[in-house]
Chain A
Amino acid sequence: MAAVQETIDQVKAIDVDQYKHGFVTDIESELAPKGLDEDIVAFISAKKEEPEWMLNWRLDAFRRWKTMEEPAWARVDYPKIDFEDLHYYAAPKKREGPRSLDEVDPEILETYKKLGIPLSEQEILAGIAPENRVAVDAIFDSVSVATTFKEELARAGVVFCPISEAIREHPELVQKYLGSVVPVSDNFYATLNTAVFSDGSFVYIPPGVRCPMELSTYFRINEPNTGQFERTLIVADKGSYVSYLEGCTAPQRDENQLHAAVVELVALEDAQIKYSTVQNWYPGDADGKGGIYNFVTKRGDCREKNSKISWTQVETGSAITWKYPSCILRGDNSQGEFYSIAISNGHQQIDSGTKMIHLGRNTASRIISKGISAGVSQNTYRGQVSAHRKASDARNFTQCDSLLIGDKCGAHTVPYIESKNSSAVFEHEATTSRISDDQMFYCQARGLDEEEAVALIVNGFVRDVIQQLPMEFAVEAQKLISISLEGSVG
């Protein structure tokens, strides 16, 4: 037991110092006054120079939101959020929507550099093969500060821009698809997001186009007492393909910060969307003080036949995570996938999983979830698989594995399986295990110290999911896993 005990102690010793992205960027911001009413909603809309239909959509959402209650069914516990004590809009002062990188505040460019996200195309291009390039949309608090490779993408017909810009310049696309996957009154946080979302990314891939590079958005919360409400919409038209990456960090602050995003994906006939997330929001300190509340609604709609949507997530940050990236398998022969690694340590609480809603005929879904709990954290997998009456030959395979480190943490698995069609075949496998003393000893007898042994065993445990990530992200994710658990690296 001694080996495991020391591991527990090490894990316990992890504190704020381990969080590498906790610095604050000193920059003057323009803030909306605290609190939320119709004026604030109108203020945000005006800031974005939005058309009237957009303002009306927001106001409708706001009115509905006021009648809604915060969901309480998740296995997470936190003090009531005072929604009047938040800023709903924060933007770096000076300019909005810079036209080129030269106009971006150097402090912000420096921030992204520190985070390892170069925004200058020259920098990105240095030494990178064309097929490995990544176009980045960087979101700083409430606004997009830079989008790279826009011109080259435009030549392929791909639209990749801040959503505020898409609302102005591609209103027909936005109006057609925004809110079509996550309806206005879907849930408390999604409705709030609809009322106050400030920015996010918009992607449109035209028919038959394979997006020439990975697209990515990098979210950064800087301003204190600020909610970040980004909205992402990705539409893959017939026969197209896109791979999209999302990364997140925030400074260390004593108070909790709210992040309530909505992501909508639409895949038309034969289209494929691959969406990967590495979420590393500030998790709070060793005593559970501070950290991000990550209340996110992500949903993909396989709207037409033979479409495919694949979610891959590595969740290591946030004080509280509440997210269920889901797939609606509407088109015949459509496929949904969910690959997840959720690591909770310290006082973190995670309630995450997916929903696979089988509506069309001959649809298939696959869920691989790996939860790792350490410290005094609670880690819940919550997943729903359902087959509609008409969903003949629906198939699902779910594998849900939990790994416990120490004896103060919890792992929970809550599957909901509903089938209204007798031809559906749903399989669910679940395991819960610990890192055994024998495994630890075996690794140590080969020369690995305790931290190296834990990192190796955990990386083995999550391998099936890591393999789903694009190469650069996989490397980052593996490093992040080591940092989250080792207690000495960084």
Chain B
Amino acid sequence: MLEIKNLHAEVDGNEILRGIDLTVRPGEVHAIMGPNGSGKSTLSYVLAGKEEYEVTEGSVFYNGVDWAELGAHERAAAGMFLAFQYPIEIPGVATMTFLKTALNAQRKARGEDEISTPDFMKLVREKSRELKVTPDMLKRPLNVGFSGGEKKRAEILQMSLLEPTLCVLDETDSGLDIDALRVVSDGVNQLRSPERSMIVITHYQRLLDHIIPDVVHVLSKGKIVKTGGKELALDLEKNGYADYVDEEAA
């Protein structure tokens, strides 16, 4: 279970998150929506442990572990996964090599044996078929020259391979056409399980037609200003964020 209490965070001295309270139980999918600049991506970076983002107040606990005690790679080994809005290019490192290195790094951190190459190959083949990731893509350097759709599919492939229990998807729908959106959403839906918590960050409601959330939050100026069921997303689609932004300003 993820428990965020009164979370304040800043980057370069600017306060972006101004007191977030959020609890996500295993099996739940929470959507976080909000206008540009509301702090959505900052929340995802703070959860993943990016260094420049400093927590100034409040706390994050996951399964009883104080997230402040763990570096980014330790959080990953403890079950955290961030699907990046803009996945980073790693030149010269084949996607396959990256996947194997990441998987083994996490297994090592948890005191497990490294996966054997045949087992790994089998696993990757299986998972990549579902996400329409071609063998050619696996040979190419990670994210280098990938199209927007390929990058997002590669992110979800990593997620499905690493089997995290806490998934944060940052604007996974950005840069996707409708077919790619369906492939990616199907991939995410397959990972929904009673043990897994998910936070889906998005600007638009259309992603939530494919990934149906249990709870929807509206983030504005670093705070959650409204929480509701999946119908809240439809309401936002119709009326825009203006109501909530103004409410906050008032």
Contacts and interface: CB of A to CB of B under 8 A. Distances in A.
Given A444-B73, A445-B48, A445-B82, A460 B109 contact: no
B77 interface: yes
Interface in B156-189: 158, 162
A460 B76 contact: no
Given A438-B88, A439-B88, A442-B88, A447 B105 contact: yes
B88 A448 contact: no
A464 B72 contact: no
Nearest to B90: A460
A446 B75 CA distance: 9
Interface size class of A (residues with CB under 8 A): 20 to 34
A452 B101 contact: yes
Interface in B22-62: 48-52
A437 interface: yes
B72 A459 contact: no
A467 to B, nearest CB: 10
B19 interface: no
A265 interface: no
B229 interface: no
B13 interface: no
A156 interface: no
A449 B73 contact: yes
A2 B93 CA distance: 24
A196 interface: no
A475 to B, nearest CB: 14
A457 B76 contact: no
B51 A441 contact: yes
A78 to B, nearest CB: 33
Interface string A430-472: 0000001111011111111110100011011111100000000
Contacts of B52: 1-2, 437
Interface in B108-127: 109
Interface residues of B, number: 33
A448 B73 CA distance: 6
Given A2-B51, A452-B105, A444 B90 contact: no
Residue from B51, B82, B106, B158 having most chain A Cβ neighbours under 10 A: B51
A446 B93 CA distance: 14
B91 A461 contact: yes
B156 to A, nearest CB: 13
Contacts of B98: 446, 456
Contact of A448 (B51, B82, B102, B141): B102
Nearest to B50: A441
Contacts of A27: none
Contact of B77 (A1, A437, A447): A447
A446 B99 CA distance: 9
B148 interface: no
B84 interface: yes
Contact of B106 (A2, A447, A456, A461): A447
A3 interface: yes
B145 interface: no
B71 interface: yes
Residue from A437, A442, A448 having most chain B Cβ neighbours under 10 A: A442
Interface in A225-247: none
B92 interface: yes
A442 B93 CA distance: 13
A461 B91 CA distance: 7
A3 B98 CA distance: 19
A462 B102 contact: no
Contacts of B71: 444, 449
A442 B102 CA distance: 11
A447 B109 contact: yes
A445 B72 contact: yes
Contacts of A457: 90, 93
Interface in A320-373: none
A460 B77 contact: no
B90 A456 contact: yes
A8 to B, nearest CB: 14
B1 to A, nearest CB: 21
A460 B101 contact: no
Nearest to B76: A447
Given A3-B51, A445-B48, A459 B73 contact: no
A1 B52 CA distance: 7
Contact of B51 (A436, A437, A446, A449): A437
A489 to B, nearest CB: 13
Contact of B141 (A438, A444, A460): A460
Contacts of A438: 88
Contacts of B50: 441, 445
Contacts of A443: 90, 102
A188 to B, nearest CB: 38
Interface in B220-239: none
Interface string B83-98: 0100111111100011
Contact of A447 (B73, B87, B88): B73
A452 B77 CA distance: 14
A446 B158 contact: yes
Interface string A161-187: 000000000000000000000000000
* Ranked 5 nearest A-B pairs via Cβ: A460-B92, A460-B93, A447-B76, A447-B106, A444-B72
5 contacts: A437-B51, A443-B102, A446-B76, A446-B158, A448-B105
Given A448-B102, A460-B91, A463-B92, 5 more contacts: A1-B51, A445-B48, A445-B72, A452-B105, A456-B98
Interface of B: 48-52, 71-73, 75-77, 80-82, 84, 87-93, 97-98, 101-103, 105-106, 109, 141, 158, 162
Interface of A: 1-3, 436-439, 441-450, 452, 456-457, 459-464
